[in-house]
Chains A and B, each alone.
Chain A
Amino acid sequence: MLNQKGYEKKQKSNEFVDIYIMGKRYNVPSSLTIMKAFEYAGYTLLRGCGCRAGFCGACSTVYRIAGNHELKVGLACQTKVENDMYLTQIPFYPAHKVNYEIDKLQGDGDQVVELYPEITKCLGCNACSNVCPQDIKVMKYVSHAIRGEISKAADESFDCLLCGLCASKCPANIVQYKVGLLCRRLHGKYLAPKASHIKERINEIEEDKFDKQLDELTNASKDELANKYNNRDIEK
């Protein structure tokens, strides 16, 4: 195995486990995540690695444990290695994407079914929810989408990282995470009440209402700025 100096220094008191990456055996500290175990084994990751902190969904991974037929999935940066883990990476999962012009859509109930008609074929197996690393009730938001309850689907799907594991398990070929994304955009654009104070402020800026104040600040000396800053009003 490659380059274990650093780890040996750090891992003296740790237990080790056997894992298999693409069929090859590696002995790695049991404390590592799947992602770090790949690196420990000498891999430099290109695909399947982004934020390294459970936010981007780039690192979906498939594995099974020896003796068990079940295929398991998880985020490589958030899942610890186990003994006899058989690992692979799913670097790219081809999924259907509909292109739309958000400005030409509407926030009504039929919109989502029109763009993603396959959602009506949902078998209700709940495999999507069971596989979600964020514990999102995926099937539930898909049901909302089928019923045209866009805002509910948007709310329920909010924590989605777009890792795509839901779609990888769907027998009806639904691309749940894209359906959720569409619902959230429709909700944000058409259904959520508008923030009127923003338009007001933009108008004021366009009417140059703040130019004089900003001119003064832009031309102020450091001392003048510090004086103003130290005496500014702070909202409770």
Chain B
Amino acid sequence: MSYTSQLRELIKRVEKTREERLGHDFPRMTPEQKQDVLNNHHPDYIKDQFRKAKIGPNKGDRFPHELCDVIEGYPAVKWDEIDTSKIDYDVDVLVVGGGGAGASASLLAHEAGADVLLTTKLRFGDSNTVMAQGGIQAADKSNDSPATHYLDVIGGGHYSNVPELVRALVTDAPSVIDWLEDLGVMFDKEDDGSMKTRHGGGTSKKRMHSARDYTGAEIMRVLRDEVLCRDINVVEFSPVVELLMDKEGKAAGAVIYNFETEEYQVVKAKTVIITTGGLGRLHTQKFPTSNHYGATADGLVLAYRAGAKLAFMDTVQYHPTGASYPEQIEGFLITEKVRGLGATPINVDGEQFVYHLETRDVEASAIIRECAKGKGITTPSGMQGVWLDSPMIDKLHGEGTIEKELPAMVRQFARFGVDIKKDPILVYPTLHYQNGGILINDKCESSVENLYVAGEASGGTHGRNRLMGNSLLDILVLGRRAGKNAAAKAQSIDNKSAELNLEHAEKFVEELKKEGIKRTKTSPILIPDYTDGELS
């Protein structure tokens, strides 16, 4: 829907101040002002939006309510319908999830000679990986080094990252790029073959590699094709709903649920790799999200019940500019490049209220504060937003810049009748990334034996804040490591007489009851419910 007449009236106020704003940068915040806006408005700092986990390995730790809700949910599996002695699949390595981490884990496990089953909730490849636009980091140019990359990662993560994981990330990075190139990923290159690289937020060297603005899609479609070309068994629309353990409490398989026939199947595996991605679709604090449909934290729930420890779950990344209008694209990511080119945030009165290139957390908090003051704009569908004055870009850099630099964005808005070259767009922070996850070591082992984790489902690599381009990197670094290590471990395991069981889940239920938690919710939730139209 193009802008309503009320919004058109409000746009006039933005236009009125545009000329006088040109050439006058809004002042940057002082460190004290930054801390103040974070303390008072960043979602991570709002105490009553968190509570202490009542049970499990992180009992007493502070989690968002929405995460507690799924962690304190009752298992969705109906016990009496499952016979764990009737094995439907018997494999060496079970990979749970079909995004970039799952695909790369499968490829490496397969290469190591393992019999692999990849099972995924939606279609293979439908994931956050496919949506990543910006790029992937790797320190492979002569002026750069893994150590420099290390420093950027750990500074960005507020020095809280797990050092061995950061080290794994930066030292494997060049070989990951090499591997992708060899599989046929089309990176942006100079004529002599060297990689075109750019800065991303928080990088000290230009090390962002890209494939136009479809970097994640390009990586995912090549990895998926490669998996399908090999003898790797892929089962789609079959989420894992519970892990299975052996008598010694080690991971030994999983229960998968066939969405279509509504039947459970039992997978026996020597090792299990969780690559189920993040929690965007839990909509923490009712935020819209940039994430794909299946990002409902399932892996966290499953691993937690099996006894795996989580890390950094009290911090979530909100991207300052998600679309808040038109309704059809609420939460959709407006790439940081738009602000990079000079588009500035403007309130309902046509005034700028924050410098446009503060860090993601500060910028997001300032937008939230402005709306809380009543200086935001209410969209026709009831959402809040502020203007992002996109026409400034052509004013600053010349007519045609927007068309040339932001073609995907122009196309996206034009589909719904908004011309971002002429009119500002409405934005509000959107839930973008799960900073934390299941705690692992640099072999991708969780605290549960034979249970490996990779990608956004894992925690520790990015500490309390991830930099752009390091997630596409970590899913491949860790995915490859998980695949290789899980396959090697599988070789030493004899599970012929292993008795698979769900005792860990039964115990978990006992604990829930003991804590007085009622059976009002089940988890993993698998598919978010949008039939009530509150969020989407």
Contact = CB atoms under 8 A, between A and B. Distances in A.
Interface of A: 2-7, 9-11, 13-14, 30-33, 36, 39-40, 42-47, 49-56, 58, 78, 80, 97, 99-102, 154, 158-159, 161-162, 181, 184-189, 192-202, 205, 210, 213-214, 217-218, 222, 225-226, 228-230, 232-235
Report the interface size class on chain B.
Answer: 35 or more
Given A5-B532, A52-B292, 8 more contacts: A31-B326, A36-B536, A44-B530, A50-B127, A56-B126, A188-B187, A214-B150, A228-B151
Contact of A51 (B131, B152, B155): B131
Contacts of B259: 46
Contact of B154 (A42, A154, A229, A234): A229
Contacts of B150: 214, 217
5 contacts: A47-B123, A197-B195, A218-B163, A225-B159, A232-B155
Contacts, number: 234
B122 A58 contact: yes
Contact of B146 (A36, A50, A54, A214): A214
A97 B357 CA distance: 46
Interface stretch (B136-144, B359-367, B486-494): B136-144
A44 B527 contact: yes
B332 A44 contact: no
Interface in B480-527: 527
A33 B328 contact: yes
- 4 nearest A-B residue pairs (beta carbon): A185-B184, A193-B193, A50-B126, A7-B533
B453 to A, nearest CB: 21
Most A CB within 10 A of own CB, among B127, B199, B225, B416: B225
A141 B374 CA distance: 52
Given A10-B382, A102-B226, A214-B167, A39 B530 contact: yes
Contacts of B126: 50-51, 56, 58
A32 B148 CA distance: 47
Contacts of A185: 183-184, 222, 225
A197 B527 contact: no
A18 B459 CA distance: 47
Nearest to A52: B293
Contacts of A199: 178
B212 to A, nearest CB: 6
A114 B152 CA distance: 48
Contacts of A6: 532-534
Interface in B174-228: 174-175, 177-178, 181-187, 189, 191-195, 199, 204-206, 212, 214, 216-218, 221-222, 225-226, 228
Given A56-B131, A217-B150, A232-B204, A97 B228 contact: yes
Contact of B167 (A200, A218, A233): A218
B171 A214 contact: yes
B415 interface: yes
A39 B123 contact: no
Contact of B328 (A13, A36, A181, A200): A36
Contacts of B263: none
A235 B222 CA distance: 32
B131 A14 contact: no
Contact of A189 (B170, B184, B192, B292): B184
A50 B159 contact: no
A50 B122 contact: yes
Contacts of A13: 380
A101 B182 CA distance: 12
A31 B193 contact: no
Nearest to B412: A54
A56 B143 CA distance: 36
B159 to A, nearest CB: 5
Contacts of B138: 198
Given A53-B329, A201-B174, A188 B181 contact: yes
